Structure 1
Amino acid sequence: MRRMAVLPAAAIVAGGVLAVGGGGPPEPETALERVQERGVLRVCTTGDYRPFSHLDPHTGEYEGIDVDMARDLAGSLAVEADFVPTTWGSLLADLTGGACDISMGGVSVTLDRAREAYYSLPYLTDGKSPIARCADADRYRTLEDIDRPGVRVIVNPGGTNEQFVQEHIDRATVVVHQDNVTIFEEIIAGRADVMITDGSETRYQSAQHPELCATNPDEPFTFAEKGYLLPQGEEEFQEYVDQWLHLALNDGTYAGHAADWFG
């Protein structure tokens, strides 16, 4: 009886020794640990939203304020930034589905997104504002001016621009244009009259295209903020990104990247 009692105990001890000796290092438990273990920060970005994120079709390289910020964040973790293509319609699903660790590139803070993901600290205050051909800009200063029969409002699908148009434009003709990179050329060519987008984008695009004028970027139709989208439940990662962003906003890092695009 004594021998029978000893054998299971010995087996348990042996099993424990085997388990300890045969096991590898523990798996990273948090997003922050996984990024550092992997050596790569995977960044979902649309690549179609200057000045924040733009994929250069000639070089295949990403550029923009938030592209530079993503590389800065990766550098602070001693890892590389890897940019994962996404669209405004799939941005949230790609993040929550694990395709990337963070979404960056002029992402507006919305309650719909906040129900499924975390946001960083906001880094920019913005709001929806119209942009039109300079010759016609005075005709499109208010929503009442824009939402009239005969006015063609152009919009890119899948994001807050389309959501705003769906909620506020009833009488004007809505023209959906799939490519946010070429959408402003449609206005210049006369195939659309006005676009309602973030004031920061209207400032940038009017500087790039002298034919276009931002009508009221300092008095937008809405209040909005931009932040970086993070996986829900990853408090440690969120806290790190918030601290990094807080420093970047106060030590000139963000301002330096923005100056490259806004001057």
Structure 2
Amino acid sequence: MKTQLILLLSLVLLSAAPLWASSSRQQLIQESTLEQVIKNNRLRVGFSTFVPWAMKDKTGGFTGFEIEVARQLAQDMDVELELVPTRWSGIIPALLTGKFDIIIGGMGITPARNLKVNFSDPYEYSGMSILANRRLAGERSTLAEFNTPDVEIVARIGTTAAAAAERYLPEAKLRLFDDEGQALQELLNNRAAALVASQPFPEFQALRYQERLYLPLAGKTFTREPIGFAIRKGDPDFLNFLNNWIRLRFADGWLEQRYNYWFTTDDWRGQIE
């Protein structure tokens, strides 16, 4: 009798397992950010300002490569776009607490960040450049020449630029700022010898202030970093959609075209000045 009861319970459990699995799958689908975005007809994008990734325009809105990417992504999802400007130092915590659905902000993919968020496939690559003050840096033209205790370097806090400065220039004095504009002012005011930032910010500033600033590495970057969308963990449907969107927009040439516009020309300058 006991054996028969055990067999009966086993059969009941086995027959119910597919129903439980199906229910769990449906719950995951319904809880997906992708489904919530479609249901609410709104994609909330967290970003921070970096030239030319995202910048304030003349009208008080935002423009830049990342803004175009966000707009195209929302358009392809057939939903409204809500831009959520956020301090870079707190952008991952803001994502995790649900302030927005995705980070589209020139975020480099790193192991430390990947422990907290999931990244899409890279949709672009970036690299670090050095911008130097002619008066304070003198004739320095290599990384090694900037890697000395008497050299003061500035960078933006919480960025891969700051991490690159710590890794490649460990002997130099490093000061960090919330905004690249603040770091640039230190350079222009002769309070720092060099700035480390993602390409092409240093290149644009060297052109703008060529009598005071220069590019020690002759425009070359000293790192190569994959850039990806960041989303909350446990959302395979949203990640799948984003990866396929990236593949499509690489294949049709849209990502390359827009990158070239924002990073190899200054035709957009009139939008922000």
1:252 aligns with 253
2:35 aligns with 33
How many residues were matched structurally?
Answer: 236
Q: How many angstroms apart in 2 are the aligned matches of 1:74 and 1:247?
A: 15
Q: How many angstroms apart in 2 are the aligned matches of 1:96 and 1:203?
A: 34
Are 1:70 and 1:104, in contact at CA under 8 Å, matched by a contact in 2? Answer: yes
Q: How many angstroms apart in 2 are the aligned matches of 1:91 and 1:220?
A: 25
Aligned to 1:84, what secondary structure does the other structure show? strand
2:44 aligns with 42
Are 1:138 and 1:215, in contact at CA under 8 Å, matched by a contact in 2? Answer: no
Are 1:130 and 1:141, in contact at CA under 8 Å, matched by a contact in 2? Answer: no
1:148 aligns with 148
Alpha-carbon displacement from aligned partner over 1:77-100 (angstroms, at most 9, x marks no partner): 111111112222112111122111
Runs of 4+ in 1 over 4 A off after TM superposition: 134-138
2:22 aligns with none
The equivalences for 1:118-157 within 5 A come to 118-133=118-133, 139-157=139-157
Judged with a 3 Å threshold, the aligned counterparts in structure 2 of structure 1 residues 217 and 114 are, in CA distance, closer, same or farther, namely: farther
Aligned to 1:43, what secondary structure does the other structure show? strand
TM-score, normalised with respect to structure 2? 0.77
Are 2:44 and 2:83, in contact at CA under 8 Å, matched by a contact in 1? Answer: yes
1:67 aligns with 67
Aligned to 1:90, what secondary structure does the other structure show? helix
Are 2:136 and 2:190, in contact at CA under 8 Å, matched by a contact in 1? Answer: no
Aligned to 1:163, what secondary structure does the other structure show? helix
TM-score, normalised with respect to structure 1? 0.79
TM-superposed deviation, 1:136 = 6.9
Q: How many angstroms apart in 2 are the aligned matches of 1:141 and 1:168?
A: 14
1:232 aligned partner, one-letter code = K
Alpha-carbon displacement from aligned partner over 1:219-242 (angstroms, at most 9, x marks no partner): 533332111112211111111111
Matched, 1:229 2:227: no
2:214 aligns with 213
Q: How many angstroms apart in 2 are the aligned matches of 1:208 and 1:229?
A: 32
Q: How many angstroms apart in 2 are the aligned matches of 1:251 and 1:220?
A: 28
Judged with a 3 Å threshold, the aligned counterparts in structure 2 of structure 1 residues 252 and 193 are, in CA distance, closer, same or farther, namely: same
Are 1:131 and 1:215, in contact at CA under 8 Å, matched by a contact in 2? Answer: yes
Q: How many angstroms apart in 2 are the aligned matches of 1:223 and 1:97?
A: 30
1:18 aligns with none
Are 1:121 and 1:242, in contact at CA under 8 Å, matched by a contact in 2? Answer: yes
Aligned to 1:181, what secondary structure does the other structure show? helix
Q: How many angstroms apart in 1 are the aligned matches of 2:224 and 2:148?
A: 23
1:105 aligned partner, one-letter code = G
Aligned to 1:210, what secondary structure does the other structure show? coil
TM-superposed deviation, 1:115 = 1.2
CA RMSD of aligned residues (A): 2.5
1:206 aligned partner, one-letter code = A
1:229 aligned partner, one-letter code = A
Structure 1 gaps, min length 5: 1-25
Q: Percent identity?
A: 26
Q: How many angstroms apart in 1 are the aligned matches of 2:210 and 2:257?
A: 25
Q: How many angstroms apart in 1 are the aligned matches of 2:260 and 2:128?
A: 22
